[in-house]
Amino acid sequence: MKKFFIVVFGFLCAVLIGAALFLPSIVTVERSIVVDRSPETVFPLVSDVRNWESWSPWYAKDKDMKLTYSEGPTDQVGSSYSWESESQGSGQLTITRSEPPREMAYDLDFGEQGTAKSFFILKPQGDGHTEVTWKMDADMGTNPIGKLMGLTMDRMVGPDFESGLANIKSVAERAATTENSNSEGESKS
């Protein structure tokens, strides 16, 4: 009986690993939201890595996260920051493309955990609205176990993207409302 279970377990493992060989190496996670502001208002929130503290779902989970920014401007190609967190892990983000106010791309390096390419894509929707899409393409490698982990990426990262996008919406709409209130106050004086 024990030998039977060992054989069945071995067979199931072989099937699982065999199936994993056919899974894609690149896994995509993508979420979108419509923000009631123009791309010009929203873009600085995602393009300047120093602004991420105001909306990042991961920073909100660990206020003690240690952030280190590259010298110079923090909103241009080559700008980067690294983070260290007991609960959120460690890594580095580097801006690889910036096309204001439409798109910002960046590379993520999680050390031994792997790498990913991510994007913010802003599309005007008319009447001052913007669709903001946050997308990540994670390279799970050729290891079957890594590819199997890829099956969980959307469930693991997707809710954080949704939270971050909701925060971006809130910050952008609140900031623009504050700017409009200040402008109206100045014009009345």
Q: Assess if residue 126 is contained within a domain.
A: yes
Mean pLDDT of 164-180: 84
Strand partners, 139: 26
At 37-91, the pLDDT tens digits run 999 999 999 999 999 999 999 988 998 999 999 999 899 999 999 999 999 999 9
Q: Assess if residue 41 is contained within a domain.
A: yes
Determine contact, residues 111/19, Cβ cutoff 8 Å: no
Q: Assess if residue 189 is contained within a domain.
A: no
Q: What is the pLDDT of residue 189?
A: 45
pTM: 0.83
Which among 53, 156, 144, 64 has a CA at the least distance from the CA of 110? Answer: 156
Q: What is the pLDDT of residue 14?
A: 61
Q: Assess if residue 155 is contained within a domain.
A: yes
Q: What is the pLDDT of residue 2?
A: 80
Q: What is the pLDDT of residue 182?
A: 53
Q: How many residues does the chain have?
A: 189
Q: Assess if residue 130 is contained within a domain.
A: yes
The CATH number of residue 48's host domain is: 3.30.530.20
Dist CA 182 CA 152 (whole Å) = 46
Is 19's pLDDT higher than 70? no
Tokens (6 digits) for 7: 């054989």
Q: What is the pLDDT of residue 3?
A: 81
Q: Assess if residue 134 is contained within a domain.
A: yes
User: Beta strand 103-109 with 89-99: parallel, antiparallel or unpaired?
Assistant: antiparallel
Mean pLDDT of 22-34: 89
For all residues of the chain together, what is the average pLDDT? Answer: 87
Please state the domain count of the chain.
Answer: 1
- Provide the residue range defining the domain that includes 122: 28-181
